[in-house]
Structure 1
């Protein structure tokens, strides 16, 4: 599958369907079609209505035969399918599939772009550059979450930041874990990486770390006698040692004033776009996701990589069935094998927890036209463009290479984005067809609509309409270039729709792995 495929729309009296690859035995409806309609390319009238974004057979498909979209298998017919029939959950299932991983066989470096493109960012002592200048109140455990919020609320009500115009705000980072867990297993290590990543994030000018005192995830272990932040803008305390809620709030406000004096010294200065790291997400996907917004994001991803920047693809459970497209682009065989090792981990993880890898698409995805996880994954992978895969990281693991990389995560969007932010993403781009609403402080989130109808309906939440790739014939390349310019503007301080609406207070969701005890 080519990430930057040209969209060819069959034209009759209306723009009816699109065929994405010459080898496909389906077309995708571009509008709601009625019984008796016969779009060009479909050899028989439709026996029933077909909604926009859904699949229509273009040839007879026998029971057990593969259904092909994007030139790739998306499942097998559960019964005989006649030309013109609607293909969906009633007649398409996911059978056994074998992939030829062909590690590193299609590793083609993209030509570098040596233009001196810059954005205005906040330069940190460790060499990283932030796109925002927040102060974070980070919690080790759910027991300190309310106090963290109390401190943030008190800082706002008291006007503590009024004298510090360069600070974007105070962000309490609260969650529901940190205790009732093992202190030495995979779940603990994952939470530790996540919290440490947020503590070091370049969009935070300083951190106030608060624990209760008796939890498994100890403040002392996180701090560990090492300089988490080389700028020294880290303060920490526990509620038990401070003497309770009120005293902790009072002390917390004092510490915030000290952090604010340091944070306010930072001002936006030019930085190369190579300092931008974008976490790429899709949620509430539909049949248009793999046609419009995802490949447009893929083109923008390649542009950023060519400028020396970094893009992160994630959601391991939602690349399942399309992982072979990534292993072929791996820079080395070892990198491809690292990705497959994570896929195998997920197969074991779901099996031992009574789940299955094909628990996707969601009900909303299915209403939008997606039927199997294979189909959804093929569209999701398009977000990654065509750049070589430089490495594979664990959830929340610090990204230490530029270029296109993969970070292991669930497909649950807030959790996946939490991992990407912990890994260093200073921008998030989120594509949606059904209309996801979210934001991820301290990292701004740019939301892309896959179809024009949803964009018009939810324009207050969407930053860019990619539906015009279908409705107006805009090229994927042009839309990708438009998105690239938005990335630079948002990195320089332009607010996204989710920031204007105030999102970010509940979207920090660490990945809980292991027993709750």
Structure 2
């Protein structure tokens, strides 16, 4: 019989409901039974002891909150009776010992990637069109309209037919009710031209944003660093950059950031300054000619076998639920450990969602310097949040809370499982480039798109994105695999979910089995054999982080 509750860690004093529980239901807590005293939805937590105000609440073996009010044994934990709380942490002498998982079956396996002159290997081959300042966004849009569909990179599915059908119903005098009940069809768009003109180019991507001027010089520098991360990225063949001319984010600043990341940068890069060129027609004409010349060069790059040690994986979560920390996140964590054991690189970000697990991560650091940098960045971030009248404790969203993540520490304890158990080899500040194989920590917000955008700028060629509620988040140049924590979500939103780890909750797979299955999926995606849902939908989310407070 399937268990209806789970105790995650032997020291925990709460259980996770795996199914909906009703008052009077009997559940097992080790060798003892426990009577449920109130309705507890699946994913929520029930007390295995009576709590008085101020008592500590432990999950994943760490402090995740304290009781605000009395909670009876068998009662439900809620935002009413529990408040966020974490333990303090110290820097210890690093002594972490890690036993890597067995990876013999993948040692000789390769993926088909795009080699770049700096030694990195991409999982895709894109051309970028980038504005240095928001003033150029309209010109970026003009270029997108001119290039995308005729080159065959537009959306294959269009809803234009549905609009035409609805227009016909209105013109024919149908009622509101008939319009609401209409059975509409989605059309397959015909993408003109003799395709594929550039068969080895996966697309032309346009990174519109609202930065580059009007903010602080630090914002401009960070933006240029982020854009440089994309231009030098192994999934990118080259770029067309539009500058107005007078903005804070100057061309020279961008070139300096490119040199920081790749001193021998040799990709085709075309920079056009509107105030020097003059008319829109001249600007767009030059941009089109240069972009076509760049695409011709990009098309000369073809996929070749690469060892799995060349993989760089970003780890992200969004729309998390009470199952994320016991299925999707630890499954990703096992896949992360496999990648690290094979010599690859993984990036764990979202610092507001590492609140409460700082001690574990410091203890896993390869040296005191690395642990101290993590502590300093966490403390600085937390202080800025408080100065803005917020705090890490305000991180959980209404959706998180509704589905069982009632404190930030509870959310963080589960979110950190994406990082597996390997040592922390480096700690990076936004938007630094990852350079060391192994587990890297990157300072970013918990905001899905800001964090995913940053991980890719730091070098992630694939992003593993866990979700319990469902989110369509993608990225312009790196495939984002959406991983469901529960089978109900995978069945309800199959158009955005790529991998279901609800099988762990269902009892059909172990975390290790699901992690190995995920690694095989990663290899297929890295080789271009499989498009993830976010790529199929053209979900090109891109939001630079201004270094103010964002949770």
TM-score range, shorter chain: over 0.9
1:149 to partner: Cα distance: 2.4
Local SS of the residue matching 2:300: coil
Partner of 1:17: 5
Shift, 1:229, TM fit: 6.8
Instruction: Judging by fraction of residues, say which structure has more helix.
Output: 2
Mind listing any 5+ residue stretches in structure 1 that lack a counterpart? Answer: 1-10
Select 1:501's aligned residue among 537, 547, 550: 537
Equivalent residue for 1:370, pick from 386, 405, 412: 405
Partner of 1:155 in structure 2? 147
Corresponding residue for 1:406? 441
Mapped pair 1:322 → 2:357: yes
Q: Equivalents in 2 of 1:128, 1:102: separation in Å?
A: 34
Aligned: 1:99 with 2:133: no
Alignment match, 1:132: 124
Q: How many residues align?
A: 499
CA deviations 1:424-475 (Å, max 9, x no partner) are: 1100000001111111010000010001111111111101111110113411
Aligned to 1:26: 14
CA distance in 2: counterparts of 1:435 and 1:210, whole angstroms:
35
Q: Match for residue 254 of structure 1?
A: 289
Equivalent in the alignment of 2:212: 178
Which residue does the alignment assign to 2:272? 237
1:101 offset after TM fit, Å? 4.4
User: Are 1:445 and 2:477 an aligned pair?
Assistant: no
Q: What residue in structure 2 maps to residue 208 of structure 1?
A: 240
Deviation at 1:96, TM superposition (A): 6.1
Between structure 1 and structure 2, the one with the greater Rg is 2
Q: Distance in 1 between matches of 2:357 and 2:263?
A: 37
Query: Which TM-score applies when normalising by structure 2?
Result: 0.87
Change (3 A) 1:420 1:95: closer
Instruction: Find the residue that maps to 2:136 and give its secondary structure.
Output: helix
Question: Does the 8 A contact of 1:281 with 1:313 survive in 2?
Answer: yes
Map 1:30-45 onto structure 2 (within 5 A): 30-41=18-29, 43-45=33-35
Residue 42 of structure 2 is aligned with which of 33, 48, 52?
A: 52
Q: 1:297 aligns with which of 332, 344, 369?
A: 332
On the 8 A contact 1:208/1:234 being kept in 2, the answer is: yes
Distance 1:64 1:149, change over 3 A: same
Instruction: Point out where structure 2 has 5 or more consecutive residues left out of the alignment.
Output: 152-192
Structure 1 residues 96 and 440 mapped into 2: Cα distance closer, same or farther (>3 Å)?
closer
**1:90-122: CA deviation from partner (whole Å, max 9, x where unpaired):** 111124632344352324363785712210001
What CA deviation, in whole Å up to 9, does each residue of 1:283-318 have, x standing for no partner? 111111110010000000000001110000000111
Q: Scaled by the length of structure 1, what TM-score is found?
A: 0.93
Greater CA drift, 385-394 or 146-155: 146-155
C-alpha separation in 1, matches of 2:429 and 2:47: 40
2:160 is aligned to: none
Q: Is the 8 A contact 1:118 1:273 kept in 2?
A: yes
In 2: Cα distance, 1:347 partner to 1:157 partner: 45
Q: CA deviation at 1:44?
A: 4.7
* Structure 1 position 69 matched with structure 2 position 105: no
1:514 CA displacement: 5.2
Measure, in 1, the Cα distance between the counterparts of 2:471 and 2:332.
17
